[in-house]
Amino acid sequence: MKRIGILTAGGDTPALNATIAGAVQRANQARVEVFGIIKGFSGLLNPQVPHVHLNPLFQSIPELDPTRGGTILGASRDYVDSADTETIGRVAERLKRLKVDGLICVGGDGTLNGMQPLSNHLPVVLAPKTIDNDLGLNYSDEASDWYREPNESHPKGYDTKKRPERAFGLDDMINYVTPGFATAVFVSSLSVQRIRTTAESHRRIAIIEVMGRDCGMISLATAYGQPDIILIPESPVEPGPLVDRVHAVLDVQKHAVICVSEGIVDTQGQILGAMSASQDPAGNIQYTGAAQAVKRLLVDQIGDAFFTRQRRNESANAAIFVRKIGHTQRGGRPILFDRFYASQLGGKAVELLLDGLHNCVATLQYRNGGFVLDSIDANKLRDRWGNIHARPLSPSFYDPTRFQPSAKGIEYLRAIFNHALGVDDIESMRTIFDTGNLIHPYDSVNIDITKRILRVEPT
């Protein structure tokens, strides 16, 4: 293998440059050239295939800094539709003209779906990433638990459902955690702590919405910021128990902090946020409004009188506020855990290509109290119809009566976060008040990368 391509697809994470850097470092050792495709699959849909040579003379280009968030290659949500064989053929032909012998896609479940048809043309492997931490399996045969139930009112004629999970140990999990998750949780937990003291002062209820689509991992792990109540999509919101819990918290401490996943659902399984959800190009639902929906519920159920009675606030509406942490979870410097394991997984992806494997995924496994690298055939993540599903947060990780992580959930989180921060993560915060920040404009890496972009001649 003389030359490989690498691209970063889907929503970005803070650890993508670390993955690319790990891949380039391993490729340098093996004397393999690495071409980075610009803007994910979008670069392959462009006949000129804009790309950057990431390791001329087998040395990494200086712009590739693993401590920098985002991706120097750019990302997009464009994807390759497996049914569109004509486009796939064109993409394969472009990769041939680029003379790449293998391709690394850094991505999540959506990327894995796009990777499948390409793998019939050249070796392709996935280096995992996603802040949602939903790429993988809770146990090896979980993909077989998905089934279809006929439903004439559904456009596809069926609903996709999952059988209740079977018992599993943490060592059974396939791809224990994805790069990007730890940094997102670092940000969300700090945000909860910051919002906490202002809610406390003003005797308010703060509802904080975190990302994660249908997976409650970010919300669960935001427990590190000590919210009083955590709501996850895997545990439908029951108004009665929720309002009781809010009352119990208010009685004692006069304020409450609630952390909600953007994808929480009601007891009918309907998304609580936007009912008319829009979709990105890959068909992913873009969630919005979960925190607002919980606010409406609490305003209705608790009512104004409760807040005016003790002169705490003028109305329920004024006493309850929502904050969406949003894209701050996806940006900025990756913390040590993400930097280290993202680069390890990037290196592993190169190894897989060198070993002649393809259509497989580099994974991070938990074994005997530590992490090891491994890989899995991508088909093992697909259900019997060939579809990839986001890994749900296991119900065994959550205690719905306390709205907090269960004992097993705590065990799961400790493995990731006990040593997730490095001294330099704390030290790096000191640069915020550098006088230079007031004098120099932001130095975007895009400026230098653009100067390096190469294109192939269209045929």
In the complex, minimum distance from the CB of residue 264 to ligand F6P, in angstroms, rounded to a whole number? 13
Active-site annotation holder among 132, 214, 228, 338: 132
132: annotated active-site residue: yes
Query: Measured from the CB atom, is 14 or 50 closer to ligand F6P?
Result: 14
Give the Cα separation of 357 and 361 in Å (integer).
10
Determine which residue in the list 287, 340, 412, 417 makes contact with ligand F6P, applying CB under 6 A: 287
* DSSP-assigned states of every residue in 208-269: EEE--TT--HHHHHGGGG--SEEE-TTS---HHHHHHHHHHHHHHHS-EEEEEETT-B-TTS
Who's near 436: CB < 8 A, 6+ residues apart?
none
Query: Measured from the CB atom, is 33 or 338 closer to ligand F6P?
Result: 338
**Residue 265 phi/psi, 5° resolution?**
-125, 165
Determine which residue in the list 42, 111, 130, 235 makes contact with ligand F6P, applying CB under 6 A: 130
* Residue found by looking up tokens 């993400």 in the block: 338
* Residue found by looking up tokens 């280096």 in the block: 127
Query: What would the x/- binding string for ligand F6P be over residues 6 to 25, using CB under 6 A?
Result: -----x--------------
Query: What would the x/- binding string for ligand F6P be over residues 360 to 379, using CB under 6 A?
Result: --------------------
Q: By the 8 A CB rule, do 160 and 148 touch? A: yes
Query: Measured from the CB atom, is 273 or 347 closer to ligand F6P?
Result: 273
Q: Report the DSSP pairing between strands 360-367 and 370-377.
A: antiparallel
Which residues inside 257-286 make contact with ligand F6P, applying CB under 6 A? 262, 280, 286
* Residue found by looking up tokens 């100067």 in the block: 451
Q: By the 8 A CB rule, do 281 and 77 touch? A: yes
In the complex, minimum distance from the CB of residue 12 to ligand F6P, in angstroms, rounded to a whole number? 8
Count the neighbouring beta carbons within 10 Å of the beta carbon of residue 53: 15
211 lies in the binding site for ligand F6P (CB under 6 A):
yes
Q: By the 8 A CB rule, do 171 and 154 touch? A: no
289 lies in the binding site for ligand F6P (CB under 6 A):
no
212 lies in the binding site for ligand F6P (CB under 6 A):
yes
In the complex, minimum distance from the CB of residue 284 to ligand F6P, in angstroms, rounded to a whole number? 7
Determine which residue in the list 213, 295, 389, 391 makes contact with ligand F6P, applying CB under 6 A: 213
Query: Measured from the CB atom, is 131 or 249 closer to ligand F6P?
Result: 131
Determine which residue in the list 131, 185, 242, 246 makes contact with ligand F6P, applying CB under 6 A: 131
Query: What would the x/- binding string for ligand F6P be over residues 89 to 128, using CB under 6 A?
Result: ----------------------------------------
Beta strand residue intervals within 354-433, DSSP E:
360-367, 370-377, 398-399, 404-405
Beta strand residue intervals within 15-145, DSSP E:
33-37, 51-53, 102-107, 124-128
Query: What would the x/- binding string for ligand F6P be over residues 316 to 335, using CB under 6 A?
Result: --------------x-----
| DSSP assigned state of 358 | -
The contact set with ligand F6P (CB under 6 A) reads 11, 130-132, 211-213, 262, 280, 286-287, 330
Which residues are annotated as catalytic? 132
